[in-house]
Amino acid sequence: MTTESCASGFGFFLGAFVLGAAAGATFVLLTAPYSGRETRERLKSAALDLEKVAERAPGAIQRAGAKAVKAGRAAFAQARNDLS
């Protein structure tokens, strides 16, 4: 498995998780016993919160990927030295 496929797999997982959380939150808000105005305000607030999280996600994914690559290279180097 290449570094790129690992990073894209994690990115896909994180994106799917965020999308699922947003869909679940939307469902809960739409079925909640609030007035239409309250529900719209809650949805707007949730969308703004999600936007803030989405802005931070690419940097967090990139840092996590770089950390995983560094750890993988260190483990590979250690295994190579152990075999020598």
| Predicted confidence band of residue 12 (pLDDT cuts 50, 70, 90) | confident
The predicted-structure confidence for 24-45, as pLDDT tens digits, reads as follows: 888 877 777 777 788 788 878 8
How confident is the model at residue 52, as a pLDDT? 82
Rounded to 5°, the CA angle 28-48-61 comes to 95
Distance in angstroms (rounded) separating the CA atoms of residues 72 and 84: 18
Confidence of residue 6 (pLDDT cuts 50, 70, 90): low
Give buried/exposed letters for 4-13 (b at 16+ CB in 10 A, else e).
eeebeeebee
Q: What is the pLDDT of residue 8?
A: 64
Q: What is the tens place of the pLDDT at every residue in 55-77?
A: 877 888 888 888 899 999 999 99
